[in-house]
Amino acid sequence: MQELGNKNVKVGVGVILLKNNKVLLGKRKNAHGDGTWSLPGGKLHFGESVKDCIKREAKEETNLDIEVAKIVSVANDINYETHYITIGVLAKNIKGELKLMEPNKASDWKWFELNNLPKPLFIPSAKIIKNYKNKVIFSDE
């Protein structure tokens, strides 16, 4: 077991936004996983519903309004010296104009073919996408 900086387990979310069989990914910066490509997402706030967290994170990061279609992944992620339970969801009814809303946290948002993803991928996002493609909900790897 690796030694972690913060001993608290947190809940994170990642959102699969699909358009024409392409998935939206942003290049992370100034956080764990810096330089990797990631789904929109973030941390669940105290007292917040998972659904509200997902909608909030998508809007805060991409300016897009979404609805939650379904949960597609739950993973126990211990990496980047952090420990998260990460919930991955598939979005539906994506509306709005894509914009880089938090340039201090991401350098770009781009659409990528689901079967031709950039590297390196943020480890939790890679798990969510893999679970979605393989129709596996839970991963403890």
Q: What is the CATH number of the domain that holds 57?
A: 3.90.79.10
Q: pLDDT at position 141, please?
A: 64
Q: pLDDT at position 118, please?
A: 98
Task: State how far the alpha carbon of 100 is from the alpha carbons of 25, 29, 60, in Å.
Answer: 11, 13, 9
User: Could you list the pLDDT tens digit for every one of the 141 residues in the chain?
Assistant: 455 556 899 999 999 999 999 999 999 999 999 999 999 999 999 999 999 999 999 999 999 999 999 999 999 999 989 999 999 999 999 999 999 999 999 999 999 999 999 999 999 999 999 999 999 998 776
Q: Report the C-alpha gap between 89 and 129 in whole angstroms.
A: 10
Within a domain: 1: no
Judged by phi (left if over 0) then psi (alpha if -120 to 50, else beta), residue 33 lies in left
Within a domain: 53: yes
Q: pLDDT at position 110, please?
A: 98
Within a domain: 5: no
Q: pLDDT at position 7, please?
A: 82
Q: Is the pTM of this model over 0.85?
A: yes
Task: State how far the alpha carbon of 68 is from the alpha carbons of 40, 55, 99, 128, in Å.
Answer: 13, 8, 20, 15
Within a domain: 4: no
Within a domain: 103: yes
CA 50 to chain centre: 13
- Check if the beta carbon of residue 36 is closer than 8 Å to that of residue 26: no
Q: pLDDT at position 4, please?
A: 55
Where in the sequence is the domain holding 56, given as residue range(s)?
10-139
Q: pLDDT at position 3, please?
A: 52
Query: Rounded to the nearest 5 degrees, what angle is found at the Cα of 82, between the Cα atoms of 111 and 31?
Result: 50
Within a domain: 72: yes
Contacts of 119 by beta carbon, 8 Å cutoff, 6+ apart:
37
Within a domain: 111: yes
Task: Count up the domains in the chain and report the number.
Answer: 1
